[in-house]
Chain A
Amino acid sequence: MGETILKMHGIQKYFPGVHALDNAQLEVRSGEVMALVGENGAGKSTLMKILTGIYPKDGGIIEYFGEEIELNGPKDAQSRGICIVHQELNLMQHLTVADNIFIGRESSTGLFLNQAEQYRKTQELLDKLHLSIDPKAVVRTLSVAKQQMVEIAKALSYNNTKLLILDEPSAVLTDTEIDDLFTFVEQLKSTGVGIIYISHRMDELQRITDRITVMRDGQYVGVLETAETEIAEVVRMMVGRTIYEEPKTQSAVPADAPIILECEHLNSIDVKDVSFHLKKGEILGFSGLMGAGRTETMRLLCGADPMTSGVIKLNGKPVRIKTPRDAVKHGIGYLSEDRKRYGLCLNLSITDNTVMPSLGTLFKGLFINDRAADRYSEEYIEKIKTKTPSTKTRVGSLSGGNQQKVVISKWLLRDCDILIFDEPTRGIDVGAKSEIYKLMNQLAAEGKSIIMISSDMPELLRMSDRIVVMCEGRKTGELDISEATQEKIMTFATNR
């Protein structure tokens, strides 16, 4: 193991009314991958913001290559070779790969850009990193995984990068894409760069990291050698309690359960001849790689995109679903993978968000009874245990898990019988994840039918009664949970 690059200890950070970091610490050696884990709100992001110079620290010491340093802003951190790749991609979608990488320090001759030089330099960089990406490609046209790699390449294009922070890089990637990412990270390690790896996915830690630093409530909990550690141990340290998860071995749905939804030969630009059915009380998993057309299929089902042909039957009767309004009327609720963009009005209150689809049915006439609305949202806050100071709290200030619960409340209050969960646990911490799982199982047991899209294979195998696999817009397989394995799913997903 290499020399110690970074040593942060006794780090303190206060925000008005909040002691965000209390005695946080972190150590990274050259050529190692140090995982940084903790629930949402544990202080990981704050600590990284201090390390990258975005926030000043209120106490503690940062030692960098054995020297105590003060960071004066993000530029200072960057010039010292500390780079971060954020969870959300920060690329300019309409510019080329080369433009993105060299933005702010373009090659130029006089007043004019030297495009050729820039492409050449980008190509060199990409070659060095063994990435097969065209420097002239417009970023928008690349897959999410490729875009992620462009981000990392950009971070490494600053010649002297010694410390690279990857903030949940795998959150938007599918399994094969993650494999590519890890191969890439391994190569980086060998060049002596120290890597801080933030992730919510426990199985990744064992594959890629050397050591694990655990944080909880702004405090340092401990550091573990990955090779000698059980994942359960890490999780226990993170949440301060044991989480029990039972894998599913056979379908919980009786064989004679009525079929509630049938989709026959759905077609659109991205979806090709997809047929499937859903039984009452069933959790139907949808698996596939990024871009397999799972979300697109669901968007047809909930009227968000136009369907070119196909039949949707509810309880045996064909229905017309042309707008989201139709879908909601028929009791189909869609929980988007991107809650912030498609699911919630972030600057409105929990009550406003919860009652929004139901206003028409809850209140006759023009006026809203605010007190009654509050009571409805209160009811669901209690029922599914949303953690919030009040019903009037802005949804934007809740954690990811609780935001997800607000979306669930909204559809439950609307009395939806079919709930479509698109990546329900993306960006949600371990504790909240198991709560969402429990809630989904409870809903299914109460007779709601659930479709769950997930790129997290263990999650699919734990939750689903049946799994539909898609590849390139087509349905390539269907497995009962009793026969489903990761290998079988992968075979269908890659259509081999």
Chain B
Amino acid sequence: MSNTTTKGARLGTKKLDMQKLLAPMALVILYILFSIVGENFFTWHTAENILQASYYIGFMAFGVTFIIITGGIDLSLGTVMMCSALLGGYSFKVLHLPMYVSILVTIFTAVAFGFLNGILIAKLKLPPFIATLGTQMMSAGLGSILTKVQAQTWPPVTDPTGGWFKKIFVRTKLFDFLPIGAVWLLVFFIIAALILHKTKLGRYFYAIGSNEEAARLSGINVDNWKIAAYTLSGFFVGMAALFYAAVYSTITPGVGQGQEMHGITGVIIGGTSMAGGSGTMVGSLIGVFIMSTLKTGLSACGLQAQWQTFFTGLVVIGAVLLDIYRTKTASKVKRS
């Protein structure tokens, strides 16, 4: 082999490192920009708002990161989250179950849907897009059926039996300044990152997303690991449901479609490839923060929700274009 190839490889790696810095840089630049042009943006209160807006989207994004890295997709995130939160609220309010059972019902519902997605995709070989489109509708319907299309309200902080729910998830500040929700998010980010980057499980996700057939021929039980990815994602969706309930209290049946796109968008902005096999957990965290900063910042500039949607769309296209451009230049050098 000539050293041309070697040089090309080194160059490729350098480009990759640049890409890693791109998302954090974008976040910092956005933050500074809004601090200059936005009203009252550069305050701790605003930062708290940004964090709070990131909770449930963050958990969804962590979950779906696993899935996207295996080369799959989950369109049922949003409705499964809503369905879980509905059933949890229903368990407490209508069935009068204890709060901890309701929390378990919420998590269990999401995990069950994740597992179902996994079975449909890995064992019954449905394309992920189709399988999760189906479960998206099923979960939306199920939530409405079981609650008889009644909105479910999770108890307020003052509730004697269930009030602690909000306290432990959102209504507490650690050391009087750090919102407890941010601590939860951070802890689960670390857990998700450890799973993805430091365990066999994570390594198999990358392998499957990178080249499923090669992984299979290497003796990896591809089907089981895929089910694991969807089930694990289900758990994170369950966490997202708890935070959605804790922040918004009232869950209305029939909504939730479209929420999955917030989670997926965060992952994409964070540099994870939809083709599978590459991406990082920290990227997804930053991607979610970029979206929340955009949302909070634009409203600090007096722009309404429709502008947030518009700009988020712009950021998605920009982020993916950059990624395509980078891959192209890297492979051009490689082929020489």
Contact = CB atoms under 8 A, between A and B. Distances in A.
Interface of A: 13, 15-18, 20, 39-43, 45-46, 216-218, 302, 304, 323-325, 327-329, 334, 336, 341-348, 352, 356-357, 359-360, 363, 366-368, 370, 387-389, 392-394, 396-399, 401-402, 410, 414, 431-432
A342 B219 contact: no
Interface string B193-230: 00000111101101100110111111111000000000
B18 interface: no
Contacts of A401: 1
Contacts of B203: 352, 356, 359, 368
Contact of B219 (A17, A40, A327): A327
B8 A18 contact: yes
A20 B219 contact: no
B197 to A, nearest CB: 9
B301 to A, nearest CB: 39
Contact of A357 (B2, B6, B9, B220): B220
Given A18-B4, A39-B1, 19 more contacts: A15-B8, A15-B336, A20-B4, A41-B4, A41-B5, A43-B4, A324-B216, A341-B211, A341-B214, A345-B214, A352-B203, A352-B207, A368-B203, A388-B6, A393-B9, A394-B9, A396-B334, A398-B5, A414-B219
Interface string B1-36: 110111111111100000000000000000000000
Place the interface of chain B in its size category.
35 or more
30 contacts: A17-B8, A18-B8, A39-B2, A41-B4, A41-B5, A42-B2, A218-B2, A324-B216, A324-B217, A327-B219, A341-B211, A341-B213, A342-B211, A344-B214, A345-B211, A345-B214, A347-B210, A347-B278, A348-B277, A352-B203, A352-B206, A359-B200, A359-B204, A368-B198, A387-B1, A393-B13, A397-B8, A397-B9, A398-B5, A402-B1
B218 A356 contact: yes
A346 B211 contact: yes
Given A15-B332, A40-B1, A342 B213 contact: yes
Contacts of B211: 341-342, 344-346
B333 interface: yes
A385 B278 CA distance: 28
Contacts of B10: 17, 389
A139 to B, nearest CB: 22
B206 A348 contact: yes
A41 B210 contact: no
A343 B13 CA distance: 22
B192 to A, nearest CB: 14
A477 B241 CA distance: 66
Contacts of A344: 211, 214
B220 A356 contact: yes
A377 to B, nearest CB: 13
8 closest Cβ contacts across the A-B interface?
A: A328-B219, A345-B210, A397-B9, A41-B2, A357-B218, A325-B219, A399-B1, A20-B336
Contacts of A39: 1-2
Interface of B: 1-2, 4-13, 198-201, 203-204, 206-207, 210-211, 213-221, 277-278, 332-336
A398 B9 contact: yes
Contact of B210 (A46, A334, A346, A389): A346
Nearest to B11: A17
Contacts of B5: 40-41, 397-399
A394 B199 contact: no
B274 to A, nearest CB: 13
Contacts of B278: 347
B311 to A, nearest CB: 31
B96 to A, nearest CB: 39
Contacts of B2: 39, 41-42, 216-218
B214 A367 contact: no
B13 A392 contact: yes
Contacts of A13: 336
A397 B200 contact: no
B207 A356 contact: yes
A392 B10 CA distance: 10
Most chain B beta carbons < 10 A, residue from A46, A357, A401: A357
Contacts of B207: 345, 348, 352, 356
A67 B73 CA distance: 55
A342 B336 contact: no
A41 B219 contact: no
Contacts of A366: 199-201
Contacts of A388: 6, 9
A204 to B, nearest CB: 23
A327 B220 CA distance: 11
A394 B198 CA distance: 18
Nearest to B327: A347
B19 to A, nearest CB: 13
Contacts of B336: 13, 15, 18, 20, 46
Nearest to B335: A45
B199 A367 contact: yes
A323 B224 CA distance: 13
B1 A356 contact: no
Contacts of B335: 45
Nearest to A217: B2
B220 A325 contact: yes
Contacts of B213: 341-342
A16 B333 contact: yes
Contacts of B214: 341-345
B217 A304 contact: yes
A368 B199 contact: yes
Output the residue of A17, A43, A345 with the most chain B CB within 10 A: A345
Contacts of B12: 394, 397
